Amino acid sequence: MIPVCRLEDLPKGESVRVETTPPVAVFHTDDGDLYAVDDTCTHQDASLSEGWLEGCLVECPLHAASFDLRTGIATCLPARRPVRTHRVTVDDGVIHVQIAAEEGTAA
């Protein structure tokens, strides 16, 4: 588990980029839910943490592709491939991310 930040330091409706390989974006929705996905849009090299969050969707700032944070599925063009999702937990007020294994690799 990778510590990200204190929950109180990530306001609702905001996101933070975690400098892992590849980078991960952690989102805190207006409803108080936490989600983490690979930070790079699958359409083109753009940071999703710099995108627009609406409910459980993030819109890429470059070409407006949209992804469902719950599943990683691309919900509109130009993106066609999903982003990888990661498990998020909060322990003692600290947000942690468990990086999902890439396809074809052991967890």
**Closest listed residue to residue 95, CA positions, set 31, 38, 47, 35:** 35
Cα pseudo-dihedral 50, 54, 57, 63, rounded to 10: -50
Global confidence as pTM: 0.91
The reply to whether omega before 78 is within 30° of 0 (cis) is yes
Helix (H) or strand (E) run with residue 24 in it:
strand 24-28
Q: What is the pLDDT along the chain (107 residues), one digit of tens a residue?
A: 999 999 999 999 999 999 999 999 999 999 999 999 999 999 998 999 999 999 999 999 999 999 999 999 999 999 999 999 999 999 999 999 999 987 543 44
